[in-house]
Amino acid sequence: MKKLASFKSLREDFKIEDILDAFFGALLFATILFLPVYLIAFEMIIVYMYRLTLLVVLIIIALFGYIALLHYFWKKSLTLKNKEIKTDINKLFLKNTLIINAVILVLGLIFIFVLIPALWV
């Protein structure tokens, strides 16, 4: 039987509290792991301000990594809670990751081409 890949089907596998618990656990893990990465990126931007655009690109890539890691931990937490998930969780979370990363890419490009020139007055 073909597995569904939607949050609606995920609700049938888990209670909403379990999904949220898994999400906040993943958020905590991903944030703690990525905190040094963001501090490094932020401090690099300050010291190498003349390479600002390049560094913003690196931050966007780091954000992609953060979102991917967040979904990885979220998925891991859910599979640890229930090993017999009927939902195609890999497909669902991949789709979700790609959508969020597309939004980050658009916001990042707006930052590079609109906000950076406007902010540095």
Partner 1 sequence: MNELFKHYKNYILLLVIPYLMIMFILVYPIDFNLQSPGGLTEVENLIEVDYNNDKSIEGTISTTYIISLKRPTYFQFMLGTFTDYSTISVLTGSNLTYTNEEIATISYLDKAISVDASVIVAYQLAADSNSDIVIDYVAKTMVYGKAEYLDHYEDIAFGDQFVKLIGDNDYEVTEIAEIAANTVLEESYDWVFINEDDEQYTVSLSKDEEYGLFGITLKTYYIVDKETTYPSYTESNSNIGGPSGGLLQTLSIYNMLVTDDLTHGLKIAGTGTITYDGTVGYIGGVEQKIITAYLNKVDLFFMPSLDENYYYDNYQEALRVCEEYGIEPDGWLIPVGTFAEALDYLEGLN
Tell me if 72 contacts partner 1 by CB under 8 A.
Answer: no
Distance in angstroms (rounded) separating the CA atoms of residues 115 and 111: 5
Binding region for partner 1 (CB under 8 A) out of 32-40, 55-63, 84-92, 105-113: 32-40
Among 28, 99, 102, 103, binds partner 1 (CB under 8 A): 28
Among 19, 26, 55, 70, binds partner 1 (CB under 8 A): 26
Total number of residues that touch partner 1 (CB under 8 A): 27
The total of other beta-carbon atoms located within 10 Å of residue 111's CB is 15
Task: With beta carbons less than 8 A apart as the criterion, state whether 47 and 121 touch.
Answer: no
Tell me if 16 contacts partner 1 by CB under 8 A.
Answer: no
The backbone region for 39, taken as left when phi is positive above 0, alpha when psi lies in -120 to 50, beta otherwise, is: alpha
Tell me if 22 contacts partner 1 by CB under 8 A.
Answer: yes
